[in-house]
Amino acid sequence: MTQGPFLYPQVTSLPGTTGTESDRQTRRQEGGPGEFSQIFDQTLKRSNEAADLNQVRTPLKFSAHASQRLRERKISLDPSTMAKLNEAIEKAEAKGIEDTLILTQEAALIVNVKNKTVVTALDRKSVSGNVFTNIDGAVIL
């Protein structure tokens, strides 16, 4: 019989492994995680931590036009409203919306979801009778 490159004569475990087969069977019976499970869990935890770092929110931006409209129409967005805007953008993004109308108590905002940029703004008094074009969704707060 010829020996292939993967046969290890008189070896009880493969390099890089610890314990004997009976030790591994005992751990499984006792409910303890095996070596593979421990390494897998560690790798998964590191992967999730890296993903969490990548999910840092991109700050909401305002185009020059939107900034001008906010000033002209005396629309102020407090921190609470800004947090709600960010949540609305996340919801729109989850639905695959590219350009959305977001209605708040104080204003109507057109937002480019991909760039997280407010394109224009109207106060709620001016919303009535307007037609909104070039949007593919709306979020009402």
pLDDT on residue 36: 75
pLDDT of 47: 67
In this prediction the pTM is 0.59
Q: Which two tokens stand for residue 84?
A: 């709600």
95-120 pLDDT, tens digit per residue, is 999 999 999 988 999 999 999 999 99
**Residue 54 — very low, low, confident or very high, per pLDDT cuts 50/70/90?**
very low
